[in-house]
Amino acid sequence: MARDYRNISLGFTEESFPEGHHIVFIYNDDWERKRTMAKFLQRGLSDNEKVLYLVDDISPDEMKLELLELGVDVDEKQKDFDITRGHYALCPGNYFSGDYMLSLVGNYYDDAISEGFSGARGAGEMSWALVEGRATIPDLLRYEAELNKILLDHPLTTVCQYDARRFDGAVIMDMLSVHPMMIVRGQLVKNPSYVPPELFLREYNERLEREKFFNK
């Protein structure tokens, strides 16, 4: 059963929303993305949340410097803020495991609450998945779909960032299908393309089977 969520501020919009949203941010403007994420992260720190950022193109130390320049209290709130490499780097053997990551998400939220935080939020850059030998797109999509279930009982508010200049259009459309909410022009809106996890996974697996059959 879904638990009661707190209403929280996301920082980049004046509206408040229930915690635990699974949000997609498809972007093609790096500066807009960084400003939006800085506001999201800073608000979590200001509201006594445990905050996680999974970085891709630069090192965690470089990311820390960028966030400091954007006004995020990284030094003052260092114990509240985890900056680390992307999802694949957290998994055994530096290879993405959806099951392993889903357990980490649940544990991260539960640990934050047990440590006295009011909640938790996280954001991740996803372009690491395009590097050969780190993940497959089907595994990543299954993880993104299943994450919606995990967040019902472990409401870590998450933002998954996809660079529209780097991901194939078909992959972007699939990623839209597994995120209930999206960031558009600095606002959080319901995603009209969202498909519930069970339905998406059934249709996606059927599509993969058809492709496998016709590619024989």
Backbone angles phi, psi at 132, to 5 degrees: -60, 140
Of residues 211 and 12, which shows the higher confidence score? 12
**pLDDT of amino acid 1:** 41
What are 11-21's pLDDT values in tens digits?
Answer: 999 999 999 99
What are 83-104's pLDDT values in tens digits?
Answer: 999 999 999 999 999 999 999 9
User: Distance between the two ends of the chain, CA-based, in angstroms?
Assistant: 43
Backbone angles phi, psi at 145, to 5 degrees: -70, -45
**pLDDT of amino acid 216:** 67
CB 200 within 8 A of CB 144: no
For 16, the token pair is 């408040």
What are 124-163's pLDDT values in tens digits?
Answer: 999 999 999 999 999 999 999 999 999 999 999 999 999 9
Domains of the chain: 7-214 (3.40.50.300)
3-state secondary structure 141-193: HHHHHHHHHHHHHCCCEEEEEEECCCCCHHHHHHHHHCCCEEEECCEEEECCC
Instruction: Output the pTM of the full model.
Output: 0.93
**pLDDT of amino acid 3:** 57
What are 52-75's pLDDT values in tens digits?
Answer: 999 998 999 999 999 999 999 999
